[in-house]
Every structure is written in C-alpha cells, then in structure tokens.
Structure 1
Amino acid sequence: MKDINQEEWRELTAKDESAEILDVRTPEEHDEGYIADAKLIDIQQPQVFMDEVEKLDKSKNYYIYCRSGGRSSQACQILDQMGFENTYNLIGGFSNWEGERKTS
C-alpha cells in the first residue's frame, strides 16, 4: 500500500492502463458523489466486500478511496494481505477531493 495525495492520484491514474478505482464507502455516501469510473464495494459489509474483492484481478493497480482515508487504508491492507500487487490509498479521501465529481 502506498498513501498518495490528489495530485499523485490524478497523475498515476491518467497514465496507468491497468488502473482500477475502488470506492469503499456506503451506497448512501456514493450517491452523494463519486470519482469517475469507481467501482463501489462497501467495506462496511464484510462478506460482500470479500466476495467482490475475490473477483478482482490481482495484477491490476487499485486506487482506493473512502470518505476520509481510514476505510480505504484498511481496504488496501486487506488487498495487500490477499496478494494484490499494487494498492494506493487516497489521503484525505473523497471529503477532500478537489477533482471532478460524478453523481448517480
């Protein structure tokens, strides 16, 4: 896991062809806005989270965020323990996100 700031996030995801963005917030939080192309996997539903993570390609690079950075850090640690090669945690999470926001 590597903690990255917004500038690093934008630079890395823009040039990373194997980038996958994961939003580990709740569906209610996601409905308030999200980063483009993010896949929602709620870490607060442990069994659903684990089932969905099992389906992911471990060789891809995962850029993970939550509301403030705590849950996404936890998600990165879980993925790392499961053998995922590269996980990146967005420092400050979506609450500090200054980039483009999508809404449902």
Structure 2
Amino acid sequence: MSSNSYSYSSSTMSFSSSTTRNGETTGSRYAEHTASDPSGTTTHTASQRTGEPLRHERRDYDASGRLVSSSDRALNGNGIDSNRRIEDVSDEQRENDRLYKERIEDEYAKREGGA
C-alpha cells in the first residue's frame, strides 16, 4: 500500500518604520507572504512609503524553483491598481449587439429558406 504525502507551507513577514523630524513624519511599511505546495511557490510582497502609492508584486515559481510569472503594480490609496481605467463601452456594445442580431436573423432566414 502506498502513502501519498502532501506538503504545504506558508509564512508571513512584515515590518514598518517611521521617523519624525521637525514635526514631519516619514516612514515605510513592507509585508511579504509566501505559500508553497508541491506544484510551486507564490510570493506576494507589498510596500509603501509615506505619501506614495502601495506597490504590490506577485511572483510564481514552479516546483523546480524557476520563475513562472511576475507582476508589479502600483495601487492607489483604495487598493486599486492605478494603471487600470474604466472605459465606457456601451456604444460599442450596442453596435456589436445590433450586428449579432442581424447575423442571427440572416441565419434563421437561410435555414427557413427565405434567403
């Protein structure tokens, strides 16, 4: 009888520091979380200096330790990726819906022998 072994580990590290000079406080904070299982390891890091956006980085490594993917992005104060934007696509979507409806109607007409 064989026994399957499953290994999972997780660790978290964080620190912060601040200095006040002439009534002005500056500082930084850093956090890192690493999770590993038989398929690989994922590391999340977040860092921020006073007055700057929060930076988040994710790195994924395969089971042999090779970097699979990495993403680094700045987040605004609400934890939202500041490089992303919202676009109004309603006009484009209406046009796509209209064209789809025309194609479907044409297809049904062909099947019924009308075209």
TM-score under structure 2 length normalisation: 0.22
Larger Rg: 2
Greater fraction of residues in helix: 1
More strand per residue: 2
